């Protein structure tokens, strides 16, 4: 048959059938790898061929603190390059959870009792322990035995763990060891019911529970008045830390702080974590961790919350609906997320604060970062590396170091020897609430004939209010 009379589709099929099978296999492999490369957000080739200039930093350019501190933070300005074989936010985050390595040591355990009857495990690692090598052993926590005198001047850093994390988590042990090695006394303030300590009151921690951090900070400041007090929060712990700093304003004894991988806005984070397939996997994994926490304290949850709902929860939102809201007396889950989000408190932070958030964090979305609020506050430095995952930032060929831990240590080391550390001031107005409206608190403006606008005096404000009332009556 003449080939010109054949259908073009038959001609195409005949031509394709002459291509060797292995060519198709190679093409299929390339397409599959490309799809998987993009799906897992791998950035190996980007790191190799498209080198960025450094870590993007957002700050108030007119702030003397920001300009002075940042000029001495070389690590913070440096470009984070992920370990090549885990150059994906998902690989980085998974490596942190399943393959993380940490130094072998034991903390000194101190049990702190709160005013409501709660118990918090404070796990200490002192600079003297690390430099002397006495605690390079694995095993249970050792008793505190009042090893720090009240005249101690070595700076103390409080570490606030993430969701369902404790002082034994790999990333926290690496942080504590690195800080203690570099002349800090470190204390990990475990959340209630974690660190092997039972719940001793009807109060549980949540994403916005700042009372425990406030109590611990005040206690340490009173007991060791000569030791500057700093704080580091990670993940949910970062949200708690920033919210606390915003609530207490100038009244906090914290001299400087760092928030790493803060979720910022819990409502936005809730929408994000159930959006895609990979995010739903993280959602489920975190829910299982919370259910494990609930099982440790089943009798209390059975009495105070919906135990059957907790056991069948499929996502964090379900867990919060059945556990967090009943215990914390929140009307709805959205109410809980709104009231406990730290983004609303950023403008009130009066302490030098470094915030580190990876733009590819698969748990805490970049959409929730309060860029403008951080830029407007002269006390805040916001570093947003393009990559890093969630609390990972592994670097080097062996993934033996974490960029954020090095950056945090450098920032706090520069800060503690500078004149910009915060000094606690008396605050008579009490805690600041992000829910209070400030519309009526702004001064009434008075316009003079020469065009100059000034704030009205109290008498003028009262006169203005009377004028409005009279006009309303006349109407």
CATH code at position 176: 3.40.50.1820
Q: What's the structural domain count of the chain? A: 3
HSE-up of residue 336 (Cα within 13 Å, Cβ side): 24
Question: Taking 60 as the threshold, does the pLDDT of residue 453 lie above it?
Answer: no
Same domain, 88 and 205: yes
Look at residues 37, 39, 73 and name the one whose alpha carbon lies nearest to residue 57: 73
Say whether pLDDT at 298 is over 50: yes
My answer on whether 74 and 185 are in the same domain is yes
What interhelical angle do 266-273 and 277-296 show, nearest 10? Answer: 120
Model confidence at 145, in pLDDT bands (50, 70, 90)?
A: low
How far from the centroid of its chain's Cα atoms is residue 64's Cα? 25
pLDDT tens figures, 244-287? 999 999 999 999 999 999 999 999 999 999 998 999 999 999 99
Q: Are residues 350 and 466 both part of a single domain?
A: no
Q: Does residue 136 sit in the same domain as residue 29?
A: no
Whether residue 373 lies inside any domain: the answer is yes
pLDDT of residue 143: 62
- The residue segments making up the domain with residue 35 are 3-39
The residue with tokens 């690390």 is 130
Same structural domain for residues 31 and 87?
no
Question: Tokens representing 353?
Answer: 């604060």
Q: Where are the beta strands (DSSP E) in 166-304?
A: 185-189, 229-234, 256-260
User: Do 9 and 131 share a domain, yes or no?
Assistant: no
In a domain, 301, yes or no: no
pLDDT (tens digit, 9 = 90+) per residue, 338-351?
A: 999 999 999 999 99
Structure tokens at 305: 């919350």
- Structure-token pair, residue 138: 């694995």
Nearest-CA neighbor of 155 among 426, 425, 414? 414
Query: Is residue 251 located within the same domain as residue 400?
Result: yes
Quick check: is 127 in a domain? yes
Q: What is the mean pLDDT of the chain?
A: 87
**In this structure, is residue 155 part of a structural domain?**
yes
pLDDT at 2 over 80: no
Domain boundary among 400, 416, 432: 416
Same domain, 64 and 138: yes
Domain assignment present for 317:
no
How far, in Å, are 123, 340, 360, 420 from residue 207 at the CA level? 21, 6, 22, 29
396 and 447 both lie in a single domain: no
26 and 103 in a single domain? The answer is no
Has residue 468 got a pLDDT over 50?
A: no
Query: For tokens 């570099």, what's the residue?
Result: 182
Residue 320 pLDDT greater than 80, yes or no: yes
Measured CA to CA in angstroms, residue 26 lies from 13, 21, 101, 319, 346 at distances of 19, 9, 38, 46, 52
CA–CA dist 32, 26 (Å, integer): 10
Counting Cα atoms < 13 Å in the Cβ hemisphere of 240 gives 27
Which residues have C-beta within 8 Å of that of residue 221, sequence separation ≥ 6?
229, 253, 424
pLDDT for residue 49: 83
In a domain, 421, yes or no: no
User: pTM of the full predicted structure?
Assistant: 0.86
Residues 121 and 173 reside in one and the same domain: yes
Q: How crowded is residue 454: how many other Cβ atoms within 10 Å of its Cβ?
A: 11
Residue 297 lies in a domain: no
Tell me if 270 is assigned to some domain.
no
Q: Which residues are catalytic?
A: 235, 361, 390
CB 42 within 8 A of CB 87: yes
Residue 136 in this model has a pLDDT that exceeds 60: no
* Co-location of 83 and 136 in the same domain: yes
Which pLDDT value is given to residue 348?
97
């Amino acid at each position: 048959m003449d080939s010109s009379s054949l259908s073009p589709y038959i001609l195409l099929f005949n031509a394709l059938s002459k291509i060797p099978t292995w060519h198709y296999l190679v093409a299929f492999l390339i397409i599959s790898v490309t799809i998987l490369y993009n799906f897992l957000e791998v950035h190996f080739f980007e790191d190799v061929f498209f080198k960025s200039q450094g870590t993007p930093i957002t700050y108030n350019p007119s702030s003397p603190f920001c300009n002075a501190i940042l000029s001495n933070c070389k690590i913070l300005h440096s470009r984070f390059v992920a370990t090549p074989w885990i150059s994906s936010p998902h690989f980085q985050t998974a490596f942190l959870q399943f393959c993380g390595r940490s130094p072998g040591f034991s903390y000194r355990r101190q049990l702190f009792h709160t005013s409501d009857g709660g118990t918090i495990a404070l796990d200490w690692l002192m600079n003297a322990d690390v430099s002397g090598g006495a605690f390079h052993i694995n095993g249970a926590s050792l008793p505190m035995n009042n090893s720090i005198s009240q005249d101690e001047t070595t700076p103390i850093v409080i570490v606030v763990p993430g969701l369902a994390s404790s002082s034994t988590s790999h990333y926290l042990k690496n942080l504590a060891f690195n800080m203690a090695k570099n002349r800090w006394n470190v204390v990990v303030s475990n959340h209630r019911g974690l660190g092997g300590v039972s719940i001793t009151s009807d109060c549980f921690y949540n994403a916005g529970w700042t009372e425990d951090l406030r109590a611990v900070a005040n206690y340490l400041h009173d007991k060791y008045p000569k030791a500057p007090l700093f704080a580091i929060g990670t993940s949910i712990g970062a949200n708690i830390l920033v919210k606390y700093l915003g609530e207490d304003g100038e009244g906090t004894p914290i001299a400087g702080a760092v928030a790493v991988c803060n979720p910022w806005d819990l409502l936005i984070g809730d929408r994000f974590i159930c959006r895609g397939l990979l995010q739903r996997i993280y959602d489920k994994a975190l829910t299982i961790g919370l259910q494990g926490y609930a099982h440790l304290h089943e009798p209390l949850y059975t009495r105070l919350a919906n135990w059957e709902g907790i056991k069948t929860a499929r996502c964090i939102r379900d867990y919060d609906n059945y556990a967090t809201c009943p215990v914390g007396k929140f009307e709805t889950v959205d109410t809980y997320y709104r009231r406990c989000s730290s983004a609303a408190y950023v403008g009130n932070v009066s302490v030098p604060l470094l915030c580190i958030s990876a733009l590819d964090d698969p748990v805490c979305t970049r959409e929730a970062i309060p860029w403008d609020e951080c830029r407007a506050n002269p006390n805040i430095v916001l570093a947003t590396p393009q990559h890093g995952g969630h609390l990972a930032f592994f670097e080097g060929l062996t993934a033996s170091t974490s960029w954020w831990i090095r950056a945090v240590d450098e920032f706090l080391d520069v800060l503690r020897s500078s004149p910009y550390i915060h000094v606690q001031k008396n605050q008579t107005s009490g805690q600041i609430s992000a829910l209070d409206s400030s519309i009526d608190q702004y001064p009434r403006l008075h316009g003079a004939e020469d065009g100059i606008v000034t704030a009205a005096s109290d008498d003028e404000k009262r006169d203005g209010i009377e004028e409005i009332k009279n006009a309303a009556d006349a109407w």
